[in-house]
A = this chain, B = another copy of it.
Amino acid sequence: MTAKNNEPTKKLSTESYKGVRDFYPEDMFIQKYIFERMRKAVEKFGYVEYGASVLEPAELYRAKSGEEIVNEQTYMFTDRGDREVTLRPEMTPTVARMVAAKRRELSFPLRWYSIPNLFRYEKPQRGRTREHWQLNVDLFGSDNIEADVEVISVAHEVMHSFGATNNDFRIEISHRDATGEALRKILKQVNINDLNEIQERISQLTKLIDRKKKMSSEDFRTKSVQLSGDPDFNDHFFALAKESEDIIKIINNLKNKGINNVSYNPEITRGFDYYTGMVFEVFDTNPENRRALFGGGRYDDLTSLFGGEKIPAVGFGAGDVTMRDFMETHGLLPTYKPTAKLYIAIQDESCRESAEQLATTLRAGGTDVALDISHKKLGDQIKIADRQKIPFVTAIGTEEVKSAAYRVKNLADGTEKILKAAEIADYLKTQSAL
């Protein structure tokens, strides 16, 4: 980008990298709205925010070998110092690493959240981008049912914070023990007895059940019969995967709190190997959107990979792309508004200094103000304000400078009000709240 010779040899493309998003101010506004609502919802329960770099040593994910996500979908490269680096595909390994690193200094139970960006090398399509942001909520240091209940309550609160009601979504929960127990029984019935073999098939079947909604029932039947050796796998699994004591308690406790859109579904398994107990997913009730919005569960063993005693943990991750789609479908997206409520236009260049003074005064009082520097005709200045969605305009001319009274115009309805400088802030606040 040598600016010296104004004729670059080749025109540069204005396209972003494939599969990621540019956030123009109107998109960023929605993104910030989503993040802000997420923050408010989880902070209600005393969660505190942490953060980390998107770069992690590749080693952190390699221990999880065999996962599709690591082998085929991870951004990995070697840095100039020959270190293998990964663009994090999920946040849980990072948060487990951070908690394990300071286990002696931290006070448990620990309520932590973060909204990191995550990378996956996927084929871009609706609801799937190569980079997305994800609210991660985790509760470390408690293996009590209250912790499971709290984390689901937080997920429920996040949905409500977007304006969703219990009719707009449902929460389905299950338990890895119930799934494992049922699968073990099925494998025993078809005489698979080798322990490693059983463990491997349980892992494969658990992931297959997790993907069931994304495949045809024929495809699922073929694969499940092949993996389990049971020709009636589906019926047997449903008959054997019983609601455990824990699940019943969790559901009842949630219902006591008014969270009545929750039910048991043995088909909820979650793909990751690290889940050890309760797992849950949140679904849109709109029949046209069958994908899970997000989910989570208990993962008590993960921190032990870093040495030391294991720290029980339960949490969930909710992505911005699916959340935005959900909000769009349900008419819950906010309307773009810049923070500046007033555009100060300049009618007469000799009045610029007065206009600047008015801007300075208003800013000092906490009002965000855009001041014209276009030197265009008044009508064109007003057009700029209007196109930038700044709702009020005042034009400064010799009259205004003399009288120190300003005609503040509402661009939406054309109404005007003449105000002293000291009255403008309150007027804009009242009007913007309407």
> Which residues of A approach B to under 8 Å, CB–CB?
1-6, 8, 10-18, 20-25, 27-29, 31-32, 43-46, 48-57, 59-61, 63-64, 66, 75, 77-81, 83, 85, 93, 97-98, 100-102, 107-109, 111-112, 117, 119, 121, 130-131, 139, 141-142, 144, 146-147, 150, 157, 199, 203, 256-257, 273-276, 299-302, 304-307, 310, 338-340, 343, 352-353, 356, 360, 363, 368-371, 373-375, 383-384, 387-388, 390
Once the chains are docked, how many angstroms separate the CA of A157 from the CA of B97? 38
Q: Which of chain B's residues have a CB closer than 8 A to the CB of A373? A: 109, 139, 142, 144, 146-147, 150
Asked whether A11 and B48 contact (CB < 8 A) given A56-B16, A373-B144, the answer is no
Instruction: Given A17-B56, A17-B83, verify A150-B371 contact (CB < 8 Å).
Output: yes
Selected contact of A4 from candidates B14, B53, B54, B273, CB within 8 Å: B273
Asked if A107 and B383 sit within 8 Å, CB to CB, the answer is yes
A90 CB, nearest partner CB in chain B, Å: 10
Q: Which residues of B contact A353 (CB under 8 A)?
A: 256
In the bound complex, do residue B44 and residue A369 qualify as a contact, i.e. CB atoms below 8 Å apart?
Answer: yes
Contacts of A150 in B (CB 8 A): 371, 373
- Is A51 in contact with B79, judged by CB distance below 8 angstroms? no
Closest-CB distance, A83 to chain B (whole angstroms): 7
Instruction: Pick from B12, B32, B59, B117: contact of A60, CB below 8 A.
Output: B12
Cβ contact within 8 Å between B363 and A3: no
Q: Jot down 22 A-B pairs with beta carbons below 8 A, ordered by A.
A: A1-B61, A1-B64, A2-B66, A2-B273, A2-B274, A3-B302, A4-B273, A5-B199, A14-B97, A17-B56, A22-B50, A22-B51, A24-B102, A28-B49, A32-B49, A44-B363, A46-B338, A46-B370, A48-B388, A53-B131, A55-B130, A107-B388
Q: CA A57 – CA B13 in complex, angstroms?
A: 9
**Minimum CB distance partner of A367 in chain B:** B44
A51 touches B23 (CB 8 A): yes
| Contact A25:B46 (CB < 8 A) given known A1-B64, A55-B17, A301-B6 | no
Instruction: Please state if A46 and B390 are interface contacts (CB–CB under 8 Å).
Output: yes
Residue picked from A61, A299, A368, most chain B C-beta under 10 Å? A368
B residues in contact with A301, CB < 8 Å: 3, 6
Establish whether residues B2 and A44, one from each chain, have CB atoms under 8 Å apart when the complex forms: no
In the complex, residue of chain B having the shortest beta-carbon distance to the beta carbon of A8: B305
- Taking a contact as CB atoms under 8 Å apart, the answer to whether A274 and B23 are in contact is no
Contact B305 A363 (CB under 8 A): no
- Cα distance A213–B398 when bound, in Å? 48
Closest Cβ of chain B to A369, distance in Å, is 6
Nearest-Cβ distance from residue A183 to partner chain B, whole angstroms: 13
A306 adjacent to B11 (CB under 8 Å): yes
Complex: A111 Cα to B372 Cα, angstroms: 11
Given A79-B121, A144-B373, A256-B353, CB of A368 within 8 Å of CB of B338: no
Q: Which residues of B contact A111 (CB under 8 A)?
A: 370
Residues of chain B with a CB closer than 8 A to A45's CB: 363, 368-371
A109-B373, A339-B48, A371-B150 known; A307 vs B3 contact (CB < 8 Å): no
Q: Which residue on chain B has the smallest CB distance to residue A200?
A: B4
Q: How long is the Cα–Cα vector from A208 to B22 in the complex, in angstroms?
A: 35
Chain B residue nearest in CB terms to A63: B1
C-alpha gap A9/B299 in the complex (Å): 19
* C-alpha gap A66/B64 in the complex (Å): 41
B51 and A2 contacting across the interface, CB-CB below 8 Å: no
Cβ of A97: which chain B residues have Cβ within 8 Å of it?
A: 12, 14, 16
In contact, B274 and A199 (Cβ under 8 angstroms): no
A368 near B59 (CB under 8 angstroms)? no
Nearest-neighbour CB distance to chain B for A28, whole angstroms, equals 5
Q: Pick the 10 closest A-B CB pairs, nearest first.
A: A46-B370, A77-B77, A20-B53, A14-B101, A23-B51, A107-B387, A46-B340, A1-B64, A3-B301, A146-B373
Q: Which of B12, B61, B302, B368 contacts A306 (CB 8 A)?
A: B12
Chain B residue at minimum C-beta to C-beta distance from A84: B17
B109 touches A18 (CB 8 A): no
